[in-house]
A and B are shown apart, each in its own frame.
Chain A
Amino acid sequence: MLFRLLLREVKMVAHDHSLLLTLLIAPLLYAFFYGSIYSYKTEEEVPIAVVDEDGSGLSQTLIRQIDNTQMVDVAAVTTLEKAKESMYYGHTQGFLYIEKGMEKKVLSLQQANMVLAVNAARFLPSSDVMGAITQVGLTVGAGVRLQYLQKQGMNTEASMQEVMPVTPDFRPMFNTRTDYGTFLLPGLLAMILQQTLLLGLAGGTAAEKQKQTFGAWMEMAGNNLSVALWGKGMFYFILFCCYAFFFLTVNFRVLHLQLLGNAWELALVTALFLLSLIPMGIFTGLLFRSQLLCTQLLAFSTYPIFLITGYTWPIAQLPEGLKFVSALLPITPFLGLYQGIVQQGAHITDRLPDLYHLCILWVFYTFICLLKMKYTAHKSPRPYAAV
């Protein structure tokens, strides 16, 4: 019976070009399409302007060192007015102002000053530029101290030790380059998996109501709600297991992403995730009488869902009401487990609360889906009425 329902679903999808697009083309297209944006993983060469009022050897060295960093591109050395205009037009992301007499001050043991103005309306480039230029400033400072100590008669080795008595040693873990792509891409692929499944499954279920084929679906399942649910769901489970496997092998390889944890544990977690999404998708679809409206409204769920999963913004920082909404989404515990296994080499046992959470959501959505199916079956016309 389950197999007959699976075949029925295959037929239904094959005859509906919208479902075909959503279920067979969109997952692969989106995975490559979105993935390619972050294929370089990190931004480089953020353009800034420099206003060099000093024009000395030291300021030239400083500008050269800044330009040599991977993160900053000195796009122009210009006047203050032109530097501002360049930022206003969006050609540069900020400007560095070097005051007149900087070298003179440094040589006479007076503190000189530089001003860095960045366009912080864009977070990533501005914070990266500030980090890079601060680092260059510290290096220049260390160089000046080194020369001073050597002039005081200290040998090179001793003065090197004196220059930086306490230095921070940055050790980013699980994403050693702290790049945006490595951080975002695994989550993005999981999100594509979820959204295409929900759009397809909910849209297909809404179509059953719209075309009044719900009764035929139930009848084929022998009026057994669980059989109807998992018979229909089996097709999506198999299809999206294949997509998950494809993403984790082909897309991960193309995008140079690594799976640090155990693949079998990841397979188990992904299967659980898909099993909880299936009743959620059917339940959502049954709330609509029109496939079009269902697709239209679900299209707006992608960003809100992603933003409250804790992937980009910590769950602890969400308002209490949204923490509750976030806890109702299977992707929240899934991303906890998935991120741990994929990016941090963790085991399921390290994140047991997420595993229990996902299992509870599976049971919860199965229960409310069966309730909704029972209610819909009670209200819907018998199959002969549809004919």
Chain B
Amino acid sequence: MIRAILHITLREWKRILTRPDHCLVLLVMPAFLFFFYAYIYEKQQAEDLPVAIWDEDHSPVSRQITFLLEQTPSIHITHAVSSQAELEQLMQSQQITGAVHFPKNLEKDIKSRHPVKVSIFTNAASLVPGKLIYKDATTVIVTAGSGVNLQKFMKTGMTEEKAMALIMPVSLTTYPLYNPTYNYQHYLVPGLITVALQMMIIMVAVLLLNKEWSEGTMDELRHMARNSAGNIIAGKTLAHLGVSWVNFVLITGIIFPFFALDHPGTTFHLFILFNFLALACIGIGLMISALAGDAMLALDVGLFYTSPAFVFSGFTFPRWGMPWYDQYYANLMPYTPFLDAFFKVYFMELPLRYAMPEVIKLLLFIGFTFFIAVFFLQLRLNKTVTHVIPLTAPGSENGGA
């Protein structure tokens, strides 16, 4: 049996290397796509976004705050405007992403103890730049307000320490853990890479059985496997698992170190976790391939099933913010538990035991899909042996690359 499985594995490797619909997707596309994703976020953070100043005060205070705004990472002052209409027009023509308004008598009001409001306008239709500008501008304005209060309290004879305690009675120290600089490359690229990889595995695995039927090579495979569906599935699975290891090496050995995305000490745990994902994806692909005789139909099903994985997994928008039915659907994809475990093992550098609930879910995927694939393939193998049906299948016209 082991010999038969190994023969099938070798045969499958040959197929992977010679068929464009296997080779391009499993060996060429990953290298190109993974570099592409990492290259997009080479700058890591959005900086120097164009911002306008609407200064109706023209005072030393407004100039001082303007100077402080320019010193922040996200803000680069590019325009001076004199009305809200002008400001909106500049936003609509994409010349600015935000603006800060200093009202008339700003300095005078501060000195005469009248509260003033400094308005921060952002183009919230562009969410990422808008939020960055808001964060930096708010920090500057709150700091400026605190400075005014500090001076006032100290003028009353209060010590600096006490004045600070009044300005900020409860200071908040924040620790954004695991990505303290909110680096976009570190955040998005590992997720994009892993979601692309699961898609690649499934998009090829959906062709593994139906192509054999449609191209008339199943008979040869059946003989190698001694009419055992289990042997066929095991041999093919081993071959594709081996190829996924090549991609794992590409990710952790080349892409992550090259773009400084690696988390030392996590590779082994990640490898174990990655194997569960790869097996779950191969299992799903084989199950679809065993059930759908037409390769093109199987590919469409695979495409429909895998392409939403990234958004449903909760990577960018948390699952608890989705309606219940979407949360339910998210759980029908192996990428969802993998991502939760990936966060723990890779980003948070935790031991694998924290990812056990997700590993169990992935094991359930593996058990269920492989069972269905073996069961239906064996049924079909037995049927064709009993009735000696010619080894062709519908949909063969959509065949080979």
Q: Which A residues are closer than 8 A to B by beta carbons?
A: 17-18, 21-22, 26, 29-30, 33-34, 36-40, 42-47, 62, 88-90, 94, 102, 105-106, 109-127, 130-131, 133-134, 137-138, 140-141, 144-145, 148, 158, 160-176, 178, 180, 182-184, 211, 289-293, 295-297, 299-300, 302-304, 307-308, 312-314, 317-319, 321-322, 336, 339-340, 343-347, 350-351
* A34 adjacent to B308 (CB under 8 Å): yes
- Let me know if B21 is at the binding interface, CB within 8 A: yes
Q: Residues 157-176 of chain B: 1 if any A CB is under 8 Å from the residue's CB, otherwise 0?
A: 00001101111111111111
Chain B residues in 8 Å Cβ range of A176: 124
* B164 adjacent to A111 (CB under 8 Å): yes
* A172 adjacent to B178 (CB under 8 Å): no
Interface of A is mostly: helix
* B113 adjacent to A296 (CB under 8 Å): no
Tell me the count of chain B residues lying within 8 A, CB to CB, of chain A. Answer: 119
Q: Residues 132-148 of chain B: 1 if any A CB is under 8 Å from the residue's CB, otherwise 0?
A: 00110110011011001
Chain A residues in 8 Å Cβ range of B325: 36
Chain A residues in 8 Å Cβ range of B171: 111-114, 137
**Bound CA span A173–B85, Å:** 12
Min CB gap B131→A, angstroms: 7
Chain A residues in 8 Å Cβ range of B398: 18, 291-292
**Bound CA span A109–B165, Å:** 6
**Bound CA span A27–B348, Å:** 38
A293/B24 contact (C-beta < 8 A), A312-B128, A344-B125 known: yes
- Let me know if B375 is at the binding interface, CB within 8 A: no
* B321 adjacent to A145 (CB under 8 Å): no
A171/B119 contact (C-beta < 8 A), A113-B171, A296-B299 known: yes
Query: Of B29-37, B241-249, B280-288, which binds chain A?
Result: B29-37
A122/B167 contact (C-beta < 8 A), A115-B173, A170-B134 known: no
Chain B residues in 8 Å Cβ range of A37: 311-312, 317, 322-323, 326
CB<8 Å pairs between A and B, sample of 29: A34-B311, A89-B354, A111-B165, A111-B169, A112-B169, A118-B175, A123-B187, A133-B172, A134-B172, A134-B174, A137-B168, A137-B172, A140-B170, A162-B152, A165-B110, A166-B148, A170-B119, A171-B120, A172-B124, A173-B88, A173-B124, A175-B125, A175-B127, A180-B317, A183-B124, A290-B401, A314-B49, A319-B39, A351-B94
**Bound CA span A39–B180, Å:** 30
Which residue of B169, B178, B400 contacts A140 across the interface (Cβ within 8 Å)? B169
Kindly list 16 other residue pairs between chains A and B, CB separation below 8 angstroms, not including A17-B297, A114-B170, A346-B92: A37-B322, A37-B323, A37-B326, A38-B317, A106-B165, A106-B169, A109-B165, A120-B180, A144-B166, A165-B152, A167-B115, A170-B134, A173-B124, A296-B24, A313-B46, A345-B92
* A39 adjacent to B24 (CB under 8 Å): no
